[in-house]
Amino acid sequence: MPVITLVNEGKTIEVTEGENLRKVLRKHGISPYLGKDNFLNCRGNGLCGTCRVEIVDGKGASPMTPLEEAALVGLAPFYARLVPKNVRLSCRIDVTQDMTVRTYPKVTLDWQRTKERLTLLIIWAFFGGTFLFVMFRLLYEIATGL
Ligand code: FES
């Protein structure tokens, strides 16, 4: 049976092969979330990117999928995170071998990507707003017979 070593907690946990890391942590009273993320998370669906852990020694971790990578960076259209390569989502990891994990890794904002996303959002909002204005104006004119 694989063994998970938790660096911050100073614990080792024996798990059944293939068990989900997030579920194992919660089963042993360790939350992978910080602060408000304890309540505002996607319940292990791999979408919110809040159940991050650092894989110190990761031979036992299942490989990362493109969706996990996207969720780590942030699926929101207005910001992006700068995530180190060994940071993963605990809800996306099935433990197959021994591994060493650090909970609550530091993640910062990726200002370059955030600026790009905000610029695109503003452009979309401008053209979307203009389109809606023209459509409502057109409907109004048709409805009133102007
Ligand atoms: S719980 Fe939301 S990404 Fe893992």
- Domain containing 105 — which CATH number? 3.10.20.30
Beta strands 99-103 and 3-6: pairing type? parallel
Q: What is the pTM of this model?
A: 0.81
Q: Are 17 and 1 in contact (CB under 8 A)?
A: yes
Q: What is the DSSP letter of 36?
A: G
What would the two tokens of residue 132 be? 């809606």
Rounded CA-CA distance 115/122 in Å is: 10
Specify whether 58 is located in the same domain as 84. yes
Which residue CA neighbors atom 3 of ligand 1 most closely?
46
Residues 120 and 98 reside in one and the same domain: no
Residue 44 Cβ inside 6 Å of ligand 1? The answer reads yes
User: In this predicted model, what pLDDT tens digit does every residue of 94-141 receive, in sequence order?
Assistant: 999 999 999 999 889 999 999 999 999 999 999 999 999 999 999 999
**71 in contact with ligand 1, CB cutoff 6 A:** yes
Same-domain pairing of 36 and 101? yes
Do residues 55 and 124 both lie within one domain?
Answer: no
The stretch 34-57 carries a mean pLDDT of: 93
By residue range, what is the domain housing residue 15?
A: 3-109
